[in-house]
Amino acid sequence: MVPSIGPKEKTVYDFWSMVWQEYVRVIVCLTTLSDGVKIKCAQYWPDTNKIMKIGHFTIRTKNEKVYANYTIRRIYVKKGQKELMVMMCHYTQWSDHDILEPLCLVTFHRHVLKISESYLGNFILVHCRH
């Protein structure tokens, strides 16, 4: 597991470079992008079926499944002719001022564990806000 903070706009390229270098197959995002007017994390992935070019990388969100408290995304990272598929588990209901509902977090954790079983031996990158 690679603990990290969420990237800012100016560190998105570094974030994807780390994912590529360490062959990260699962990203767990434990923050919303903003809380009120406060930006907590850059949106480092494109919307579904869109492409984002960042330096040498082309990032594409192939699909996403939205649940009540979290979203699961399948993201493809391409550099040259090589491509890496990354699963992103994004907990979307963790604001700075709310108390978490334990059952919702347990459900999310179980989903993350189920996805992670397919990528044993690979790093899981977990991040929160910056």
Tell me which residue of 59, 60, 44, 46 sits closest to 6, measured CA to CA. Answer: 44
**What are 14-64's pLDDT values in tens digits?**
999 999 999 999 999 998 887 777 777 899 999 999 999 999 999 999 999
**What are 61-104's pLDDT values in tens digits?**
999 999 999 999 999 999 999 999 999 999 998 766 667 778 99
pTM over 0.85, yes/no: yes
pLDDT score for 89: 98
Which domains occur in the chain, in start order? Answer: 2-128 (3.90.190.10)
- Rounded to whole angstroms, the Cα distance separating 119 from 130 reads 27
Does residue 1 carry a pLDDT above 70? no
pLDDT score for 74: 98
Tell me which residue of 26, 37, 38, 30 sits closest to 100, measured CA to CA. Answer: 30
- Rounded to whole angstroms, the Cα distance separating 130 from 127 reads 9
Does residue 3 carry a pLDDT above 80? no
